[in-house]
Amino acid sequence: MKTSRIIGLAMSGLARQKMRTFLMMLGIVIGVATLTVIISLTKGAQHKVMKGIKNFGANSVMASAGGGRMFGPPDGSTVTLTMADAEAMQASIKGIKHIAPFTMHVAQTVVAGSKNTEAAVFGVTPAFADAWQWFAEKGDFISDEDVSGLSKNCVLGQTVVRELFGDQDPIGETVRLNNTNFTVVGVLTKRGASPHGMDMDNRVLVPLSTAMRRLYNTTALGMIRLYVDDPDRLDEVTASVTAILRERHHIAPPQEDDFRVTNSMAMAGTIKGVSKTLTTFLLLLASISLVVGGLVIANIMLISVNERKKEIGIRRAFGAKARDIRQQFLGEALIVTLFGGIGGTLLGIAISLAIAGIKKMPAVLSWEPFVLAIVFSAAVGIVAGLQPARKAAGLDPVNAIKG
């Protein structure tokens, strides 16, 4: 029998039972819509994370004080990472273009006139700008003289500027940190969010020496950032940094490191791994709802075959082959799932856009959900329709026609 005739038969069969057809379609619509939403939103989230990783810098290796954790600011109680470590790295690792030791103190109160805000305070050297590829947009960066003279000059991130000065030019103004007055000499370019979602523009940079001796009275560094000339050597440099720190800190393997070393590749890998696990789990859920949808279709169709025995018998009496009956019922299942798949994708896109709008999250729409929906729906249709179609085709015409 011609395909167009099978489609026509299946369509008119479905049209005769609109409510039943709708119920069969519903399960698939829900399953596919869930699938579409998950794919769009995960892609959106991944997109955001990858942007953050780009902000971290592709050529960089970073060593932080304090071990055990994956992310976050350095552990302030760990005082083992020192300038001597940084010097040892520079001396023994080849291909380091820039090395920037710095301190980091989060949630510090910054005051300007009557306004105050909370920001992270970084003690830095001029190499910080090169290692982060992050320079002053206005004014100057921290200079060598600032560091050697323990000057009270500072550079502000754009969020701090907005909070404390609004649209005013902050250069030359005074901000107060830890009861010490600093003169603003520069403003950093806008950087955006870190891979962990932290606002990188909410920070104040002061000379490293000033931070260590005047503000926080410490000899320890928070982090050392290395800018490598060749991104292919990231893993090699990461390994060297780890080896040097273990040796200098006298850490033997079963002992836990008192530092952690990471690079953009490793970071991307970790985050991708986490989101992959989550995505897999959600996709599994969506698949379960598709399987349930398929079971509903199979069930309703089996009942339908019983109710339509007489129709099957009549068709057989007028020359329908067993194959024709099988194709008709399989066609019905396929049409239900395909239309359900298309409807589900459209619904899913609408929901994704709505969620993205409400939660201010990016949703990335792509061709994958469409293709997946078609493939999945067709598969569900064939699997769910096969048994009912076989049963219908296998009916003995003489008995079937009795109804």
Partner 1 sequence: MIELRNITKTYNKDGGVEVKVLQGINLTIGRGEFVSIMAPSGMGKSTMMNIIGCLDQPTGGEYLLDGIEVAGMNDDDLSSIRNKKIGFVFQSFNLLPRTTALENVELPLIYSPDDLDIKAKAKSALEAVGLGDRVGHQPSELSGGQQQRVAIARALVNDPTLILADEPTGNLDSASSQEVMAIFKKLHLDGRTVILVTHEPEVAAQADRIIRMKDGQVVSDERRAN
Binding site residues, partner 1, CB under 8 A: 1, 5, 8-9, 12, 16, 310-311, 313-324, 397-398, 401
- Minimum CB distance to partner 1 smaller for 318 or for 367: 318
Coil, helix or strand for 242? helix
- Least separation in angstroms between residue 12's CB and partner 1 is 7
In the bound state with partner 1, the residue whose beta carbon lies nearer, of 350 and 398, is 398
Residue 149 C-alpha from the chain's centroid: 44
**What is the rounded CA–CA span in Å between residue 97 and residue 334?**
61
Which is closer to partner 1, CB of 5 or CB of 115?
5
The minimum distance between CB 310 and partner 1, in angstroms, equals 7
Rounded Cα distance, 290 and 286, in Å: 6
CB of 398 to partner 1, least distance (A): 5
d(CA 148, CA 66): 28
Shortest spacing between CB 326 and partner 1, in angstroms? 12
Answer whether 344's CB lies under 8 Å from 257's CB: no
What backbone phi and psi angles, to 5 degrees, belong to 100? -125, 100
- Residue with token string 């990231």: 234
Helix (H, G, I), strand (E, B) or coil at 202: coil
- Rounded distance between C-alpha atoms, residue 139 and residue 364, angstroms: 39
Smaller CB separation from partner 1, 375 or 398: 398
Nearer to partner 1, 314 or 346 (CB): 314
CB of 316 to partner 1, least distance (A): 7
Q: Which is nearer to partner 1, 233 or 309 (CB)?
A: 309
Smallest separation, CB 319 to partner 1 (Å): 2
Give the span between the Cα atoms of 25 and 86, in whole angstroms: 64
